[in-house]
Amino acid sequence: MRTFDLITGESLLVKDLRVVRWEQYELGGQMPFQAMWYSVPPGSESPIDQHPELELSIVVAGTAHVLVGGEVHEITHGNAFLLSSTEAHVVQNRSDDELLTVFSAYWMPIAGADEGERPTEAVAAGHV
């Protein structure tokens, strides 16, 4: 078993978001996806983002407000959201005092698979 520690993981800043990418854990081809945690300070938001990977995100602390296609979706602690490669998105923390932390796994869609199909394998890819 391996454990992964959000608190002591090496991080980088994107705008004022703390990002901990899992590449640092040297998993190589052991997993069919890449992963990261990111933390959004109170009153802040991520830069607008769109990438070729599918992205499954779980809110592990706080409440996320996700802007996609002109709509705002409120995702509370313990719930998840899935973004397709066609969806530009912004993740907001509208709290005055609570840090928002999200775990995201991302992977390239299977060539030729429809959005509704359940993939049987995935290819790990970098994430912007």
* Residue pLDDT, tens place only, 5-47: 898 899 999 999 999 998 888 887 888 899 999 999 999 999 9
**Most confident listed range (18-22, 28-32, 94-98, 113-117):** 94-98
Question: From its phi and psi, is residue 120 left (phi > 0), alpha (psi between -120 and 50) or beta?
Answer: alpha
Segment 70-92 shows an average pLDDT of: 97
Q: What is the pLDDT of residue 24?
A: 87
Cβ proximity of 93 and 99 under 8 Å:
yes
